[in-house]
Amino acid sequence: MIDFSHPDIRDCVERALEEDIGPGDITTQACVSAERMARGRFVAREQQVVAGTELLPIIYQIRGGVEALEIEKLSGACAAHGQTIATVRGRARTLLECERVALNFLQHLGGIATMARRYVDAVAGTGCRVLDTRKTTPGLRRLEKMAAAAGGVMNHRMGLYDAILIKNNHIAAAGGVGQAMANAQAARLPIEIEVRTRAELEEAIEAGATHLLLDNLTPEEAAEQIRWIAGRAKVELSGGITLENVRAYAGTGADYVSSGAITHSAPAVDISFRLELD
């Protein structure tokens, strides 16, 4: 799971608050006295996997004015319709001005976690693991990958800096599969390589590849290639993998399947914030 003390997380929250509140919430300032105290509840309005409630202490700490915060559902927990996710008590102005930022995070991240859980459930019993991708919202990758992990998905590399994934354009630029592998091995990092043909597959294994990426195959084509590989390398399948077909791909004998839809196409879950006077 993600480290919520990471400076990138606080920076993301600070930017979100500044974007929404700016120099001040003029509606709240005009309507609500500075002394007014209130309570608020975040309530699930549909079945969902919760993600991002650990951001609430950061949001309210940055704005100030909150006396009590209780998180009832941590990231990864399930919430049924009508269940309370978190409660907060403090200055009414603070609760109102932070409402949309808090909901934006909880709804978006909860949507990713819920989608991730659906993928994981769809491949249950196959022995295949679901991976996320780098197809994330700019500036939100760390949080979106946290949400995917909360849903049970295995995080792939965080960025271009923490693992080597040689794709077809890298192979073309390096001068071939064997040359790309030889060049990459000097970095002494985990290496995964995309192969498109039987010849490239054999060349990659000959060069020492232990993790192969097969892209844009049908389940039947993938199963045939995996039989040919015969356990000589781990296999990841990607390209066109959806919630509807992921089990067919997982059943090919692949070790991993990856889907960008988990982060780039997950609909937000429905959560409401209900405020009451103290």
Cα distances from 72 to residues 52, 54, 87, in angstroms, run: 12, 11, 8
Q: Tell me the catalytic residues.
A: 100, 135, 167, 194, 215
In the chain, the domains with their CATH numbers are 7-120+266-277 (3.90.1170.20), 125-264 (3.20.20.70)
Contact between 150 and 51 (Cβ < 8 Å): yes
With tokens 């022995």, the residue in question is 127
Q: Rounded to 5 degrees, what are φ and ψ at 7?
A: -60, -30
Q: pLDDT truncated to tens, each residue of the chain (278 aa)?
A: 567 888 999 999 999 999 999 999 999 999 999 999 999 999 999 999 999 999 999 999 999 999 999 999 999 999 999 999 999 999 999 999 999 999 999 999 999 999 999 999 999 999 999 999 999 999 999 999 999 999 999 999 999 998 999 999 999 999 999 999 999 988 888 899 999 999 999 999 999 999 999 999 999 999 999 999 999 999 999 999 999 999 999 999 999 999 999 999 999 999 999 999 98
The helix (H) or strand (E) run that includes residue 43 is strand 37-44
Cα distances from 35 to residues 38, 112, 136, 155, in angstroms, run: 10, 38, 41, 45
Give the global pTM. 0.95
